[in-house]
Amino acid sequence: MKKGISLIALIITIIVIIILAVISIFSAGKVVEKAQEAKTLQEIANEKEILSISILQAKREIGGFNETTLGSALDAIGGVGATEVSKDNVNFVVKFKSSNRNYFVDSRGNIEGPIEANEWSGMASIGLYGLGTEESPFLIQSMEDLAYMRDQVNGTENMIHSLTDNQDHPNARKAYYELTKDLYLNTLGEINRIENWDKEPPKNKWTPIAESMEVAFSGHFNGNDFRLIGFYVNDGDDQVNKGIFGFTRDAVIHNLKVVDAYIRGGKYIGGIAGKIYGTTVIDGCSLQGKSYIFGSGAGTPEDGSPVAGVGGIVGNSRGNIKMINCYNTSSGWVKLEGEVIAGGPHGFVGGVLGGGNDGTRNCCELF
């Protein structure tokens, strides 16, 4: 009997030891994870301090605050060759080589970052978090998420798989979406040569969300003042409805910034949307950086109109549309090929709205 009790006690002791060992391993893993997190935060703090001191020093230089003086100051304070300074057409981009982290510095010396500028994988997600409602919009947290949204809106299924409730939700074209961060279609290296994209296209090309009237986007898209950066759209000079969005009807798109974009086509070409219909509202949207919007005037749109429209924000509009607080500060251009006469038969071109029903308010083009 005693032997049986001793055996049971031994087994229990072994089980307890195993449980304690597992707990210890798990706790040790958590400690390591926390230590790594603390180390990363300290590295970021150190990089920002080096950057702040370098900015102050660069501002004191005779040549003023520019890419050269900032680079020299960073070499002096952070070590020669430890950083790399470039420009993304809006900000200075400072890369710390040892950590591979990027920071944005604007013309006033304000620091933003570290910035994730990862190249799009070319793939799409398998679903989105959220429920697609006003209270719980579908979240766009990566380029893969945006590509998934685009594919579902353009596709025949017209549904979104929610990763929140693991259910398929119908009417992808009428759902609510929310952008949660800046997204890059192409890398900073590609963006720095955007002037040559007409001859040497970047690696990644964007197909617009809602390419045609048949799959018109009628939902809500909240950009949250985040940016879509380095987008390249070019399917030929006879194509219509080109932009981040192709064709919208009774949609709401607000607080979305498009930066360093090259968008090319025939008729109805815009930085945010090619064609907007019905009661669509475009509010607080902008075109920035060094962006190029081009229309050849060719192509046959669904409405059969022979008139082209090319705009920095929207190419063409029809219906009771509203464009509010939109602006274009791009240092690139907006062009419509061929002879353009205001009100003439060929087409319309504008820094904000190309042509159509003018429902703009508080919108402007700045140079």
Q: What is the pLDDT of residues 127-186, one digit of tens each?
A: 999 999 999 999 999 999 999 999 999 999 999 999 999 999 999 999 999 999 999 999
User: What's the N-to-C CA distance of the chain in angstroms?
Assistant: 94
Residue 209 has pLDDT above 60, yes or no: yes
For residue 248, pLDDT beyond 70: yes
State the pLDDT at residue 304: 67
Percent of the chain with pLDDT over 90: 54
H or E stretch covering 269: strand 269-270
Mean pLDDT of 269-284: 95
Helix H, strand E, coil C: the string for 256-302 is EEEECCEEEECCCEECCEEEEECCCEEECCEEECCCEEEECCCCCCC
pLDDT score recorded for residue 340: 47
Confidence of residue 356 (pLDDT cuts 50, 70, 90): confident
Per-residue pLDDT, averaged over 243-249, amounts to: 97
**What is the DSSP secondary structure assignment for residue 167, as one 8-state letter?**
-
Decide which of 49 and 19 is more confident.
49
Predicted confidence band at 364 (pLDDT cuts at 50, 70, 90)? low
* Least confident span in 28-42, 116-130, 192-206, 267-281: 28-42
CA gyration radius, the chain: 26
Predicted TM-score (pTM) of this structure: 0.73
Position 342 scores a pLDDT of 45
Least confident of 74-78, 105-109, 229-233, 264-268: 105-109
Calculate the average pLDDT of the chain: 86
Q: Using DSSP, how many helices (H) and how many strands (E) does the chain show? A: 4, 28
Measure the CA–CA gap between 228 and 15, rounded to whole angstroms. Answer: 55
What is the C-alpha to C-alpha distance for residues 269 and 308, in angstroms, rounded to an integer? 9
Distance (Å, rounded) from C-alpha 194 to C-alpha 198? Answer: 8
Q: pLDDT band at 344, cuts 50/70/90?
A: very low
pLDDT over 50 (residue 73): yes
* Whole-angstrom distance, CA of residue 23 vs CA of residue 28: 8
